[in-house]
């Protein structure tokens, strides 16, 4: 099957891995995209793999690797160690794709609990360190059959989370490596605004690097914590019809993850969240994916 709905556990942050698997399975989902801290809390990657399998689910992605922009030697080595572990964890739970949020500027590292030179605001150098880190991580990714999935984040996160802001930048960085080792994700929240989005989605499909599709809406006003400005599909300003058609036309047929950071949604009953996201997906996203892919909707069969 194509375009199976997947729960990214960032949407249900109050659930353990076991609870999230149970909730997703109850809602009829077949896939889940766990965050790494849930694996640790569940007793490690091997135990997590068992929980996911026994729940009847598959892992669509593992979130997240990355944060590769530290300028100090110690910071770089710590990041590489963490990412090597993440690659092994992804392989253990059967997630072919490790989402990579590449990191921001050293001057802002303290915002996320790290350390860095407050005077180091060189974004070009930060991007270069990401490229050099990928050079070191790709051989292990290939060995484990894991794709390092570069995620372009909305420009408002360029300082603290990701010095990659467009799909084109992510693809440019990926081209030095085999397509099976480095790919990209289209996250509607982060890239919907990009005037080059259609061309870059086409490029990603042509280069066989489009390996994940994540959806949520872009809400206004921006929350006091900008990270929490994601919304349920249909509640904001993103044109899911157009972007979904582009993604499917580019050849994507994999799971579609819902990843929402929003105080109200994150704190409400998880079953309500899952039911709502299923309904919105089936009405606002799936029909356009299927139509562009030439797939007859299940409701039209018979």
Low pLDDT (below 70) residues in the chain: 298-302
Q: Tokens for 213, please give them.
A: 């599709």
**Contact between residue 150 and residue 179 where contact means Cβ atoms under 8 Å apart:** no
Q: What is the pLDDT of residue 298?
A: 60
Which pairs from 231-238 meet CB under 8 Å and 24+ separation?
231/260, 231/262, 231/265, 232/260, 232/262, 232/265, 232/276, 232/277, 232/280, 233/258, 233/277, 233/280, 233/281, 233/284, 233/285, 234/280, 234/283, 234/284, 238/188, 238/189, 238/192
pLDDT at 80: 98
Structure tokens at 301: 């069969």
Over its C-alpha atoms, the chain yields an Rg (Å, rounded) of: 18
> What pLDDT digit, counting tens, does each position of 133-170 carry?
999 999 999 999 999 999 999 999 999 999 999 999 99
The DSSP output letter for 294 is T
Give, in words, the CATH class of 5-300. Answer: alpha beta
Integer Cα distance of 252 and 14 in angstroms: 31
Q: How far apart are CA 183 and CA 204, in angstroms?
A: 8
> In 10 A of CB 136, how many CB atoms?
13
Domain spans of the chain, in order of start: 5-300
Measured between alpha carbons, how far is 244 from 159 in angstroms, rounded to an integer? 29
pLDDT at 26: 97
User: Which pLDDT score, from 0 to 100, does residue 296 have?
Assistant: 83
- Residue 211's pLDDT is 98
Return the pLDDT at 301: 40
């Amino acid at each position: 099957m194509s375009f199976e709905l997947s729960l990214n556990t960032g949407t249900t942050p109050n659930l353990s891995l076991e609870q999230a698997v149970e909730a997703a399975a109850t809602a009829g989902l077949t896939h889940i995209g766990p965050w790494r801290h849930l694996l640790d809390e569940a007793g490690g990657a091997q135990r997590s793999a068992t929980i996911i399998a026994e729940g009847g689910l598959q892992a669509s992605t593992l979130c997240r690797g990355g944060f590769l922009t530290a300028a100090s030697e110690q910071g770089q080595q710590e990041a590489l160690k963490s990412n090597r572990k993440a690659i092994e964890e992804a392989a253990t739970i059967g997630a072919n794709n490790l989402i990579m949020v590449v990191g921001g500027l050293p001057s802002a590292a303290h915002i996320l609990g790290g350390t860095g030179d407050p005077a180091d605001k060189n974004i070009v150098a930060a991007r270069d360190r990401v490229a050099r880190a990928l050079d070191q991580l790709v051989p292990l990714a290939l060995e484990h059959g894991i794709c390092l999935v570069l995620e372009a984040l909305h420009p408002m996160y360029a300082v603290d989370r990701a010095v990659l802001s467009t799909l084109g930048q992510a693809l440019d960085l990926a081209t030095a490596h085999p397509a099976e080792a480095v790919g990209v994700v289209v996250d509607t929240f982060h890239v919907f605004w990009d005037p080059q989005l259609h061309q870059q989605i086409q490029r990603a499909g042509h280069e066989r690097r489009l390996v994940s599709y994540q959806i949520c809406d872009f809400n206004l006003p921006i929350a006091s914590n900008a990270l929490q400005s994601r919304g349920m599909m249909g509640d904001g300003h993103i044109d899911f019809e157009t972007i979904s058609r582009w993604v499917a036309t580019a050849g994507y047929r994999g799971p579609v993850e819902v990843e929402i950071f929003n105080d109200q949604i994150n704190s409400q009953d998880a079953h309500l969240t899952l039911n709502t996201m299923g309904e919105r997906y089936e009405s606002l996203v799936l029909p356009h994916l299927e139509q562009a892919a030439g797939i007859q909707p299940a409701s039209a069969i018979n």
